[in-house]
């Protein structure tokens, strides 16, 4: 059993998996670290380090595609179904409910919750929208361990606390706030605005540099 892979390696595993899957679909049995590196736009030495940390050995022909895929699936628990509740049926909540890519990771959003009664009763993706106050009872009854937060920033902490009190121990947070949760709760913050901020910053820098460059012309 592999323990404690570097976080950066874990982040790259979905992309490895996707590339390996497309190679397998095209009938490829083996792939070299050079080919993988090119497809991922990273250095071949990093590919070798990543795959060595999974316990994938190289053979003369390269990495065995199907075996390497299977290792990734085991490590990420892609074959183990993880049932989750989602709270906050706004535009982002709806998108996550409708997104089909998560089932590849064994994630199944079984129900969604919102305080807006006009949304209650709707079905989005495979999940039914329920009244927020039903979350604690249902989470305990169904033994739900994973929660997804897509509410506005101002109420996210409250939602996290309700989730934790209801037995949820892994939270995927899309609200742009840092949540305070007990030590035993796993938390993963996703921040779309941070990505946009990075792109905006680089964009502004370039505009400014261009203007400065123009200023230097006679």
User: What's CA 177's distance to the chain center, in Å?
Assistant: 17
Phi-psi region of 151 (alpha: psi -120 to 50; beta: other; left: phi over 0): beta
Q: Which CB, 134 or 143, lies closer to its own copies?
A: 143
Q: How far is the CB of 149 from its own copies (least distance, A)?
A: 12
Q: Which CB, 59 or 107, lies closer to its own copies?
A: 107
> Distance between CA 179 and CA 30 in Å, rounded?
44
Q: How far is the CB of 41 from its own copies (least distance, A)?
A: 4
Cα–Cα–Cα angle for 127, 128, 133, rounded to 5 degrees: 120
Q: Which residues bind its own copies (CB under 8 A)?
A: 1, 3-5, 7, 10-15, 18, 39-41, 75-78, 80, 82, 91-92, 94-96, 98-102, 104-107, 145-146, 153, 170, 172, 176-178, 180, 186, 188, 190-208
Q: Which CB, 30 or 102, lies closer to its own copies?
A: 102
175 with 193: CB under 8 angstroms?
A: no
Q: How far is the CB of 166 from its own copies (least distance, A)?
A: 17
> Distance between CA 11 and CA 16 in Å, rounded?
10
């Amino acid at each position: 059993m592999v323990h404690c892979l570097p976080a950066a390696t874990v982040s790259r595993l979905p992309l490895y998996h996707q590339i390996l899957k497309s190679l397998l679909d095209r009938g490829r049995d083996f792939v070299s670290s050079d080919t993988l590196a090119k497809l991922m736009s990273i250095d071949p030495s990093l590919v070798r380090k990543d795959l060595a940390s999974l316990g994938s050995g190289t053979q003369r022909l390269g990495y065995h595609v199907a075996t390497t895929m299977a290792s990734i699936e085991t490590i990420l628990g892609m074959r183990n179904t993880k049932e989750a509740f989602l709270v906050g049926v706004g535009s982002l909540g709806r998108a996550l409910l409708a997104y089909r890519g998560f089932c590849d990771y064994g994630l199944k959003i079984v129900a969604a919750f919102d305080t807006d009664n006009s949304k209650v009763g709707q079905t989005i993706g495979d999940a039914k929208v329920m009244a927020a106050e039903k979350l604690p009872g249902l989470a305990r009854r169904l033994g739900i361990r994973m929660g997804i937060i897509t509410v506005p920033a101002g109420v996210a902490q409250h939602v996290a606390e309700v989730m934790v009190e209801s037995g949820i121990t892994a939270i995927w947070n899309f609200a742009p706030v840092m949540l305070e949760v007990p030590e035993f709760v796993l938390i993963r913050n996703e921040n779309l605005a941070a990505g946009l901020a990075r792109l905006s910053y680089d964009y502004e820098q370039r505009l400014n540099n261009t203007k400065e460059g123009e200023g230097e012309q006679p």
